[in-house]
Each structure stands twice: as C-alpha cells, then as structure tokens.
A and B are shown apart, each in its own frame.
Chain A
Amino acid sequence: MSQPTFLLDGQSVPFDDGQMILEAARAAGRYIPHLCWHPDFPPHGSCKLCVVKVAGRHVSACATPARAGAEVESDTPEINTERRTLLQMLFVEGNHFCPACEKSGDCQLQAMAYDLEMTTPRFRHFFPDRPVDASHPEVLLDFNRCIYCELCVRASREQDGKAVFALTGRGINKKLAVNAESGRLADTDFAANDKAAHICPVGVILKKRVGFAVPIGERTYDRAPLHEVALPKLEGDT
C-alpha cells in the first residue's frame, strides 16, 4: 500500500501513521516554525509558533496528527501574521535587549523574528524585573529572556535525571524556578555538560567565559536563516 499523504501549502507530504504534521513536514524537508518543539522530546504545545490552519481551524502542527488528504496552510500571510503577533508578545513580555545578549545571532527567537520580518514589538513593553542568577561557577542564568518553552525543565528531568528547573505560577505570573532551597543554581547538582545546559533556544542558560568566542556576524543565523538551519540534515548534506 502506498504511504498516505496530506497537502502542505498545496504540496503533497507523505506521513507515517501517528506522525504529527510538523514531524512529517520536516522529514519531507519542509519547515514549519517551532520554538518549544525539539526532536528529542514529545510535543509540548506551549509556544504556538507552529500554528497551521487545517479545515478552517488553527492548530499546533507539533501536536496535531497528520491525516490523509488534509489540506494544511502554513506559509500564508494569515498564519504568518498570527505567528508574528505571538513573537511580539514574547518580546514584550520579557526583556530582550539583543545588542547586549550573548545569544544574539544564535538565538531562535531572534532568528524567527528575522524570518517573519518582525520589525516592531508593537505592544506595550512589560519591562519586568527579573534578577539574574550568576551563582554557578560555570553557567549564568538570565531569566529576562525566558520564553517558558520548558525545554530545560524537560531535559533536566528526562535526560539528566536531575529536575534542576521547574515552571511555577500561572499565566502572566509564570516563572522559571531553580529547584533548591535557596533558589540558586549553585546549590543544585546542575553541571555544565548537562543536556539542560545546552538546550535553551534563547539566551537564558549561558556558559560563562565563552560568550563572544564566536564573533557577532559569524554566528549560526548570520550564515543561514532559521528556516534552513532548523531542518534536519538530509543524506549527502555536509
């Protein structure tokens, strides 16, 4: 029997039974934006940047199973405008001062904003007060840039077996917390070679003393845009 397919922006994409729209699209070399999704973890469905339109409904491509014959709209003005609005909300909710951020040029949030040509934050800035945690000898936490994707929480719990991070509070009072009586990273068993130390898509979890080892202008998304970098390497690629 031939593989079932769905249509992504009018082009046929094959999928395996149970595969999510985003995964199937990626396997076929087609990019759908995502921030909280990561190939090593089950879908989380919190950022909504992977929004697509299926049968008139806006759904998360990372958490919606592909269906044979479905017509999926992704790279359309309507959906990209919605994504841009989500990005703008993420930018004003935290403190994203890119010129002083070590992650600039390697940051997925910033690169997605470039991809979607977000030129203004549009909304009123919250300018929240979020002190940094520099207690750990090797790693700095700058909470000002957290987008609550929970990737560090999941990586620490599921891969490092440590549960160093947790999200507390709800809605606008949500906070990334460090699991220690003192609340300080130095008082946990976190280590610089943990999976959780390398998974943050933005500039929260930063290894100390290497911030500018790669100069601005020569970084990941200086060399290629996110929609290329984010796709899995196909066989034969270098």
Chain B
Amino acid sequence: MSTPRKLRVATVSLAGCFGCHMSLLDIDEHVFALLDKVELDRSPLTDLKTCGPCDIGLVEGGVCNSENVHVLREFRAQCKTLVAMGACAINGGLPAQRNHLDVGQCLSAVFQSRPGMDTAEVPDDPELPLPLDKVHPIHEVVRVDYFLPGCPPSGEAIWQFISDLLAGRTPRVSYPLLHFD
C-alpha cells in the first residue's frame, strides 16, 4: 500500500503576538508525529512568503491592517479548511482593545505626544501597511470553518484539535481544554 499523501498546512500570525505559534511548538514530541503527517506551506516556520494550495490553514491573530486583509484572503482562497486559532483571531483579542479609540489619536499618542518624541512624525513609509480603523476578528472578513479558543490555546488543546482534523473528524475542544484565557 502506498503511504497516504501528506496534508499541506499553512500557518500565519496576523495581528497576534506569536503566542499561538509558540503553543503549537509546545506540543513537544508530538511534533514528530505531526511532521510525519503534514508538510508545511507558508508559515513563520518555513518563512515562505506566499501560500500555495493547502488542506489546512491555521490563522493566529485578528485583522488590524490592510496587509492582514490580503494575507487572510490568500489563506481563504488557498486553504480547504481554515481555522481561527486563539483569542485574537476569534474576537480581536488584545489588539482590539484599541477599538473604542480613534486610530489617528492612538498613532499620535504613541509617536508624537510621548515625552521625548514630541517632534516625531507618525511613520508614513509607503511600505508600511495602513492600519484599519478597527481590529476585526477574522470571521468578520472571511468564512471560517473552525475556531480554536484560548489565549493561547494550550499545546494539548492544539494537538487534540489538529489530531481530529488530520483524522478527518470534526475537531472538538471541550471541557477542560476549552478556555478563553
């Protein structure tokens, strides 16, 4: 019998802190079992900059700027199954705590009105993606197939979730692995 095709998996951190990716690495020795079954496409772990056709996309972080929107749309277009991984992808998380403030005022507070920076300009290099006025959970921008809560989800929760997905089961993270914090 031929060995089953490896599943292609892409991962990305949008407006996140890479905590979910750290937690993904926290699955310890399961990493070997995982790498037996999957091949990584675009991911901070491969440093590939574009995403090819994939079976699974894991998205950490919400959408806070124009580049996040493009990357998220690329993931949706390329990944058969798209997963919102962690609090920020699911509800905006920490970055969304700026949502009740005006983004212009946030920028000038950070770059212009801090002691010692009062003559600085808000950076406007054309390479910098423009911030959105609000930070959005990813399901407000694209269709999302599954949600894996946690800030970050524990390695154990991630492993259980991915194992379900790889085995073709509907992934389920229930008590006591289900956490919003």
* Chain A complexes with chain B: yes
Specify which of B94, B100, B172 is in contact with A129 (CB 8 Å cutoff): B100
Whether the pair A120, B139 counts as a contact (CB closer than 8 A) is: yes
Nearest A-chain residue to B84, judged by Cβ: A120
A98-151 residues at the B interface, CB under 8 angstroms: 98-101, 104-105, 110, 113-115, 117, 119-122, 124-125, 127-130
Q: How far is it, in angstroms, between the C-alpha of A95 and the C-alpha of B97 when the chains are bound?
A: 9
Q: Which residues of chain B are near A9, meaning CB under 8 Å?
A: none
Tell whether, in the assembled complex, residue B134 and residue A127 are in contact, meaning their CB atoms are under 8 Å apart: yes
Number of A residues near B (Cβ < 8 Å) is 28
Do the beta carbons of A99 and B94 come within 8 Å of each other? yes
Are A99 and B87 touching (Cβ within 8 A)?
A: yes
Give, as a whole number of angstroms, the nearest-CB distance from A48 to chain B: 22
Q: Which of B101-154 contact A (CB under 8 A)?
A: 134, 136-137, 139-140, 144, 146-149, 151
The chain A residue with its CB closest to the CB of B176 is: A222
Is A91 part of the binding interface, using a Cβ–Cβ cutoff of 8 Å? Answer: yes
| Whole-angstrom distance between the Cβ of B88 and the nearest chain A Cβ | 10
Task: Say yes or no: B181 contacts A119, CB within 8 Å.
Answer: no
A127 in contact with B175 (CB, 8 Å): no
Contact of A125 with B93 in the complex, beta carbons under 8 Å: no
User: Complex formed: what's the CA distance from A226 to B141 in Å?
Assistant: 33
Closest partner residue, chain B, to A121 (CB atom): B91
Q: Is A127 a contact of B147 with CB atoms below 8 Å?
A: no
A98-B180 in contact (CB<8A):
yes
Q: Which residue of B lies closest to A223 (CB)?
A: B176
Interface positions of A (Cβ within 8 A of B): 91, 95-101, 104-105, 110, 113-115, 117, 119-122, 124-125, 127-130, 216, 222, 225
Q: List 18 A-B contacts (CB under 8 A).
A: A97-B96, A97-B97, A99-B94, A99-B181, A113-B180, A114-B175, A117-B172, A119-B90, A119-B147, A119-B178, A121-B90, A121-B91, A125-B92, A127-B96, A127-B99, A128-B100, A129-B100, A225-B175
The 7 closest A-B pairs by CB, nearest first: A98-B180, A129-B100, A99-B151, A127-B99, A119-B147, A120-B147, A104-B181
